[in-house]
Structure 1
């Protein structure tokens, strides 16, 4: 259940935020946020992360669909178990669907979050995907720690 709640919340928040940006900002417009730490700039990315592969946005919608299908298949087979993996996969799938919807409908993704001194522009789906990867990494580290502890207790 946690997987579906997180996935749905990410998808709704992402799409609502993108709708608000597309409705209330002009392309290229910047709005101040929280001091020097965050501001909002409306950008349309027709490529992948870091604006790579511009013009191939619709192909990344296909990749997102394949990723979502793979996660759902692994969940159905019982390969992704536990609250940490539920949360990780929920964030990643919600983000992938959010960006996939933009790519399928518009051929590009609406980005608007600029943190710190710049270096990239993101949206809520991107943040969710990054958080999902971080939680997945935490799961792997925890699993390795438990395995080593179990191995040591046998000796």
Structure 2
């Protein structure tokens, strides 16, 4: 874990935050479809379940998606554990993707669905959760890493 500490920090912290927010939604909302306006007409918390992938693609696809989440999670952990030392932006990128894959994967294995609740109504965007956000943040960090110069000996990143 000392080799890629930001990977593990992002992965574990993101997973905990994702699971706590989903638990909060499940405990705080009395029924599916219930919504609370944070900024009316713009952003709401809306309790929905999703049996598909991010943004409700492949609805009903939970059986194969759970195995995909598990495979991605195990692959990322193997990369961080047995692979070389990564740049900090790569560690964060892969760590956030791990957080999202594990967060939604755990839900798919335990319940057969994920809880979504972030509802941006202004742009009619599908309801999503923090695991989805973490995956996208991870992709953003990997894009930054791919455009940044390779490290030189002696340079700290």
Q: Same fold (TM over 0.5)?
A: yes
Whether 1:101 and 2:118 are equivalent positions in the alignment is no
Larger radius of gyration: 1
Structure 1 residue 35, shift from structure 2 partner: 5.0
Report the counterpart of residue 19 of structure 1 in structure 2.
23
Structure 1 residue 52, shift from structure 2 partner: 2.2
Superposed CA offset, 1:60-94 (max 9, x none): 11101111111122223334601111111111001
Match of 2:146 among 137, 140, 144: 140
Structure 1 residue 36, shift from structure 2 partner: 4.5
Whether 1:123 and 2:129 are equivalent positions in the alignment is yes
Superposed CA offset, 1:37-62 (max 9, x none): 42111110011123222222132111
TM-score w.r.t. the length of structure 2 is 0.85
Structure 1 unaligned residues grouped into runs of 5+: 148-155
Q: Give runs of ≥4 in structure 1 deviating > 4 Å.
A: none
May I ask how many residue pairs the two structures share in their alignment?
A: 146
Structure with more of its chain in helix, by fraction:
1
Structure 2 unaligned residues grouped into runs of 5+: 152-157
Report the counterpart of residue 152 of structure 1 in structure 2.
none
Residues of 2 paired with 1:88 and 1:106: CA distance?
27
Report the counterpart of residue 70 of structure 2 in structure 1.
65
